[in-house]
Each structure stands twice: as structure tokens, then as C-alpha cells.
């Protein structure tokens, strides 16, 4: 019993591992260039861009907005303005610029489920494998948002299916942990390593058992994931199943 209580306290912070997006400040306070990009004003933006240097096109918010520090491209992707994204690319914006959270415009597009913006960025060479401050990639967020279409786009442009975040979670392990059955199946079909483990040696099966995902448990067993592999505490998925009251 003590071992079960100890385990429960150990994983009690598990929800903090979930990568969370954050969004934009009050549009009225933005500089003109950023406001036009955020609002999708293509013609206004074109006029502003024609007067700007490439440095300003790539500029982060001024210091008074240091809590977000995003480029016009970040804002266009958050707001879902593919026309603005294409226009900014014409004016040589930095596709891989990061905001204060080390997040790229591509990750912002994925977080906001703006597939058109994500597609334009990828077609023009945006790097799908850059990590944010939590070491999550665009693919981690596509899995979290349950977007098969965006995840497919990313994989077509060579996103690393085995990328790991700070908790050593691959997109596959994240899908299991968050009980995203469709995404688990999608990643298996695309060759994800079903035997990956997190930073405390928890297998996908252990995560599925702990997070009460019986359908995913069945799927993982069908894929040959061992119920006997142990985590860093010496417990197996089978032991966790018994302690949680799972029936055979």
C-alpha cells in the first residue's frame, strides 16, 4: 500500500508536463506592423512593409511588450492569416524566429490549428524540428491538438517522429499520456517507436494503465509492448494494473 501511495505522489505533477500554448496581447496596443499582421490587413501590411527594412519585418515586439516578444509572422499564424504569412515571406521574414518562450511561428500555427499557415511555412522551408522552451516540437503540439492533417504535413516535411521534450516524451508517449487514441494509432502507422520510455523509464503501457486508457492498453499489447518492463521505481505495467483495480 505504501508503494502505491508513494507512486501516486510521484506522478501527482503529471499534468504539468502537458505543453500549453499562450496567446496574444491587446491588439490595440500593438505597433502598426504587428497590428496589421495580426488583423489580416493585407494591403495595409503591404504598404507598411514597402517602407520597412528586412530587419523591421523580422522584429520582435518593442521592450514594452517584453512579456510576449513576437514577430509579425507569429501573430499572423496565431490569428490564422495565410495571406499575411505569404506576404511576410515575400519580404524575407525570418521563418524560424522565436518569441520569448522560444516558440516559432510554425508552432504557433499548429497550436492554433491554422493548417494553411503551417503549410505555407513548411513549403517555404520552416524547420519543423525546432523546440520551444519545454523542448516540445510542432509535432508534439499537433498530437496534443489531435490534428491528423497537420501531423501528416509535418511528417511529410521531415518532422522527427521521435523528438523528445523535457520529460523525455516523444509525440507517441504524449499521445498515450493524453489518451489521444486516434493519434496513437496514427503514429504507430507512421512508424513511431512503441517501446520508447520517458525520463523515469515509464513505458507507453505504464502511461496508458496509469491514465486509465483501456483501449490504448489493448492496442499497445497488440503491438507487442511488454507488460513486464519496469520503470525507475521497479514497477511494471502489470503491477500498476493490479494496484489500480484493472481486471484481466
Domain boundaries, the chain: 11-160, 168-248
> pLDDT band at 29, cuts 50/70/90?
low
| Beta carbons within 10 angstroms of residue 243's beta carbon | 16
What does DSSP assign to residue 30?
S
Whether 246 contacts 238, CB under 8 Å = no
Q: Is 38 helix (H, G, I), strand (E, B) or coil?
A: helix
Q: Pull the grid cell for residue 243.
A: 494496484
Tell me: pLDDT of 1 over 70: no
- CATH topology for 11-160 is 1.25.40
Percentage above 70 pLDDT, the chain? 71
CA distances from 92 to 9, 49, 86, 240 (A): 50, 10, 10, 53
Whether 178 contacts 158, CB under 8 Å = no
Greater pLDDT, 92 or 186? 186
Beta strands in 30-124 (DSSP E): none
Same CATH topology for 11-160 and 168-248: the answer is yes
pTM for the model: 0.82
Q: What is the pLDDT of residue 78?
A: 92
Q: Using CA atoms, how far apart are residues 111 and 147, in angstroms rounded to an integer?
A: 10
Which CATH superfamily is 168-248 part of? Ankyrin repeat-containing domain (1.25.40.20)
What does DSSP assign to residue 34?
H
> pLDDT band at 166, cuts 50/70/90?
very high
**Helices 181-189 and 214-222, packing angle to 10 deg:** 20
Amino acid at each position: 500500500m505504501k508503494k502505491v501511495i508513494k507512486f501516486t505522489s510521484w506522478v501527482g505533477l503529471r499534468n504539468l508536463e502537458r505543453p500549453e500554448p499562450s496567446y496574444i496581447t491587446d491588439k490595440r496596443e500593438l505597433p502598426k506592423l504587428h497590428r496589421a499582421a495580426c488583423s489580416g490587413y493585407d494591403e495595409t501590411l503591404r504598404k507598411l512593409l514597402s517602407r520597412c527594412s528586412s530587419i523591421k519585418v523580422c522584429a520582435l515586439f518593442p521592450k514594452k511588450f517584453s512579456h510576449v516578444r513576437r514577430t509579425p509572422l507569429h501573430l499572423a499564424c496565431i490569428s490564422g492569416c495565410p495571406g499575411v504569412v505569404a506576404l511576410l515571406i515575400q519580404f524575407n521574414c525570418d521563418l524560424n524566429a522565436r518569441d520569448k518562450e522560444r516558440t516559432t511561428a510554425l508552432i504557433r500555427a499548429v497550436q492554433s490549428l491554422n493548417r494553411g499557415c503551417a503549410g505555407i511555412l513548411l513549403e517555404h522551408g520552416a524547420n519543423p524540428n525546432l523546440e520551444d522552451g519545454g523542448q516540445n516540437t510542432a509535432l508534439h503540439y499537433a498530437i496534443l491538438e489531435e490534428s491528423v492533417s497537420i501531423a501528416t504535413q509535418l511528417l511529410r516535411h521531415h518532422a522527427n517522429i521521435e523528438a523528445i521534450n523535457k520529460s523525455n516524451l516523444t509525440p507517441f508517449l504524449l499521445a498515450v499520456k493524453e489518451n489521444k487514441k486516434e493519434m496513437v494509432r496514427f503514429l504507430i502507422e507512421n512508424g513511431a517507436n512503441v517501446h520508447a520510455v520517458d525520463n523515469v523509464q515509464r513505458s507507453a503501457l505504464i502511461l496508458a494503465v496509469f491514465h486509465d486508457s483501456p483501449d490504448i492498453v489493448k492496442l499497445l499489447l497488440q503491438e507487442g509492448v511488454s507488460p513486464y518492463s519496469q520503470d525507475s521505481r521497479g514497477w511494471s505495467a502489470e503491477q500498476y494494473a493490479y494496484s489500480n483495480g484493472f481486471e484481466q
